[in-house]
């Protein structure tokens, strides 16, 4: 159980509203627009400032209906289906939006989006529409809706279809879609977060870090920063759609044409996102057996795992010398454990002309000791190992990455979320924007080292961790889980290590948060005289490069750690053994 003060503080902070006022979304949207006005006015274009001024001129109910439209995934709406209890005079509000150009009636300009319009109607309704167009020509009632839609488009002019649809029931389209998208993008800084962040905060599902808005930094300094970052995000979304519909040859041409016309000379702000996009497209082409094309795109970045994939593709394409040279380049400056061990293994494979080699991870696994665990733990191998060590008198729990991440998150909480580093840009930010970039360490190295220098004893470390845990309990932090026992795991870990070992592991994590917050051993076992972090492997499991990295690191710095293989002990053998013991 948690210490009483922590429980009391947690309970006092959990008094959240259980519902929201009728126009809660209006408050949220207004806040977003005001936030963008204050911080990003310098990057807005004329259309966006016109949108903001025009929005301010609407009545509150008209603003509410526009927000309702904008928050939905569809762009077109049947007027007769629009109903919100908090908006009283719907016809007047629709008229206001129409007169102020926040919605528009369907027209010739929407021809390319007819599929979205027609999707608003059921097949029986479309049959009625067909009868209105030409009473004597009626498709069979058994016709499928997609076939009926194709027949309508083939048979009738789009303007005639719009006219009949409007007679049957007015359909409108929400406008200013690009402007609203940009407002949200500027506020959140990405396309993943949305207005539901406000809702989950106010319903108490997530407690966000409390930032003073005046200390938040601007994420986008120039319009080019905005346009390039948003463009890459939209291209990622487009790729996810068209890869389901088009052959890989067309996808390759699409990407290369885009890169030639718009993908070069991107703002530095968009670079990390662009590199991630490169890796996504290349990996997909590789899976589609488009090896040369995948290699061409991989060559646009050196971000891991691009260089590894290039070596493999070069080798498969017969470019042996080039593959060897790239292996040597990777070995000189690996970005992570995967690159480090891959470059050594693959270089050996090529140089010795072996079709297969025993990888360093496999060698380490084969050299590991073995224990016997009941086969009933086949799908819970770590729990079986915990039970095995507990039967030998050890304390044990499942550790893996969590206590290490939690220790890092608690020990450096204020440094991670330090607004002076200028990586916190909005009040809903769960992690700083440089969290998974090399910049994280470089920007904070002095602060991190100062903190570790101040934490020069286990007592001080434990006090820092306890205090942060109590003060920040329940606040979202990607590294820190909140449940009974999480703190105790961290304190067990710190009790077993020396201050210097803690310092070294924390600095190693800080150097590469994306890679070095993973790969820690599965379980921790200890008694009064010894301890060990143990990586448990079933007979069908493999050792990863990250796991081997931490094994090497721990050995180098005197942290007791090892790999242990599990052999399954058949239940009948177990029963016989127990019977012999009884005799």
The pTM (predicted TM-score) of the whole model is 0.88
Residue 407 contacts residue 499 (beta carbons within 8 Å): no
Task: State the pLDDT at residue 162.
Answer: 87
Q: Where are the alpha helices (DSSP H) in 191-290?
A: 196-202, 223-242, 248-261, 271-287
Give dist(CA 135, CA 384) in Å, integer: 74
Residues 6+ apart with CB under 8 A from 205: none
Task: State the pLDDT at residue 125.
Answer: 87
Task: State the pLDDT at residue 419.
Answer: 93
Enter the tokens of residue 143: 């016709």
Under the banding of pLDDT at 50, 70 and 90, the label for residue 6 is very low
Enter the tokens of residue 191: 């396309």
Over residues 500-511, the pLDDT tens digits come to 999 999 999 999
Say whether pLDDT at 121 is over 50: yes
Task: State the pLDDT at residue 147.
Answer: 87
Say whether pLDDT at 574 is over 70: no
Task: State the pLDDT at residue 173.
Answer: 96
Task: State the pLDDT at residue 22.
Answer: 92
The percentage of the chain sitting over the pLDDT mark of 70, rounded to a whole number, equals: 94
Over residues 418-442, the pLDDT tens digits come to 999 999 999 999 999 999 998 999 9
Phi/psi of residue 358, each to 5°? -90, 110
DSSP string, 378-410: TT-HHHHHHHHHHHTT-EEEE-TTHHHHHHHHH
Least confident interval from 176-180, 374-378, 533-537: 374-378
Over residues 45-104, the pLDDT tens digits come to 999 999 999 999 999 999 999 999 999 989 999 999 899 999 999 999 999 999 999 999
Give dist(CA 205, CA 208) in Å, integer: 10
Say whether pLDDT at 266 is over 60: yes
Over residues 469-499, the pLDDT tens digits come to 999 999 999 999 999 999 999 999 999 999 9
Q: Where are the alpha helices (DSSP H) in 288-336?
A: 291-298, 306-316, 320-332
Under the banding of pLDDT at 50, 70 and 90, the label for residue 17 is very low
Tokens 């061990």 label which residue? 341
Q: How many CB atoms lie within 10 A of CB 44?
A: 20
Phi/psi of residue 432, each to 5°? -65, 155
Sheet hosting strand 76-78, strand order edge to edge: 76-78, 171-174, 103-105
Q: Where are the alpha helices (DSSP H) in 317-380?
A: 320-332, 337-351, 360-366
For the residues 135-159, what does the mean pLDDT come to? 81
H/E element holding 532? strand 531-537
Query: Which of the two residues, 263 and 306, has the higher pLDDT score?
Result: 306
Residues 6+ apart with CB under 8 A from 446: none
Task: State the pLDDT at residue 217.
Answer: 95
The pairing of beta strand 103-105 with beta strand 561-569: unpaired
């Amino acid at each position: 159980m948690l210490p009483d003060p922590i429980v009391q503080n947690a309970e006092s902070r959990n008094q959240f509203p259980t519902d929201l006022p009728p126009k809660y979304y209006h408050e949220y949207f207004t806040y977003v627009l005001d936030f963008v006005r204050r911080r990003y006015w310098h990057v807005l274009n004329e259309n966006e400032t016109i949108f903001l001024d025009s929005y301010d001129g609407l009545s509150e109910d008209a603003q509410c209906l526009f927000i309702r439209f904008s928050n939905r995934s569809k762009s077109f709406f049947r007027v007769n289906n629009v109903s919100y209890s908090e908006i009283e005079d719907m016809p007047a509000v629709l008229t206001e939006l129409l007169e102020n150009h926040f919605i528009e009636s369907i027209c010739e300009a929407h021809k390319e989006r007819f599929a979205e319009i027609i999707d608003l109607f059921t097949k029986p309704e479309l049959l009625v529409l067909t009868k209105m167009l030409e009473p004597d020509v009626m498709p069979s009632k058994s016709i499928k809706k997609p076939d009926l839609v194709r027949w309508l488009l083939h048979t009738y002019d789009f303007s005639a279809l719009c006219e009949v649809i409007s007679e049957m029931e007015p359909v409108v389209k929400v406008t200013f879609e690009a402007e609203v998208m940009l407002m949200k993008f500027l506020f959140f800084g990405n396309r993943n977060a949305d207005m539901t962040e406000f809702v989950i905060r106010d319903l108490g599902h997530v407690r966000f870090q409390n930032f003073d808005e005046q200390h938040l930094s601007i994420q986008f300094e120039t319009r080019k920063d905005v346009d390039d970052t948003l463009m890459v995000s939209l291209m990622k979304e487009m790729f996810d759609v068209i890869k389901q519909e088009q052959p890989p040859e067309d996808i390759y041409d699409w990407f290369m044409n885009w890169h030639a016309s718009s993908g070069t000379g991107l703002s530095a702000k968009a670079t990390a996102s662009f590199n991630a996009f490169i890796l996504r497209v290349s990996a997909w082409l590789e899976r589609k057996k488009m090896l040369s094309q995948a290699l061409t795109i991989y060559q646009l970045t050196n971000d891991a795992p691009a260089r590894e994939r290039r070596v493999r593709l070069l080798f498969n394409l017969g470019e042996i010398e080039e593959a060897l040279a790239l292996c040597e380049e990777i070995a000189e400056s690996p970005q992570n454990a995967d690159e480090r061990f891959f470059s050594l293994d693959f270089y050996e494979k090529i140089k010795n002309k072996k079709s297969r080699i025993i990888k360093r991870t496999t060698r380490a696994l084969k050299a590991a000791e073995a224990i016997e665990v009941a086969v009933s733990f086949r799908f819970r191998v770590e729990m079986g190992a915990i039970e095995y060590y507990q039967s030998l008198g050890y304390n044990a729990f499942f550790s893996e990455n969590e206590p290490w991440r939690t220790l890092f998150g608690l020990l450096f909480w204020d440094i991670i979320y330090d607004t002076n580093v200028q990586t916190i840009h909005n009040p809903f930010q769960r992690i700083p924007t440089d969290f998974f970039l090399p910049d994280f360490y470089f920007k904070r190295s002095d602060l991190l080292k100062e903190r570790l220098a101040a934490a020069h004893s286990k007592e001080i470390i434990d006090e820092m961790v306890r205090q942060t845990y109590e003060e920040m309990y329940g606040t979202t932090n990607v590294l820190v889980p909140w449940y009974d026992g999480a703190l105790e795991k961290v304190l067990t870990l710190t009790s077993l290590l020396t201050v210097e070992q803690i310092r070294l592991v924390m600095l190693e994590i800080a150097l590469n948060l994306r890679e070095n917050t993973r790969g820690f051993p599965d379980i921790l076992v200890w008694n009064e005289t010894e301890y060990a972090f143990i990586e448990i492997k079933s007979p069908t499991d493999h050792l990863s490069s990250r796991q081997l990295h931490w094994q090497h690191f721990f050995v180098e710095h005197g942290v007791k750690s090892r790999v242990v293989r599990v052999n399954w002990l058949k239940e009948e053998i177990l029963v016989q053994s127990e019977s012999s013991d009884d005799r």
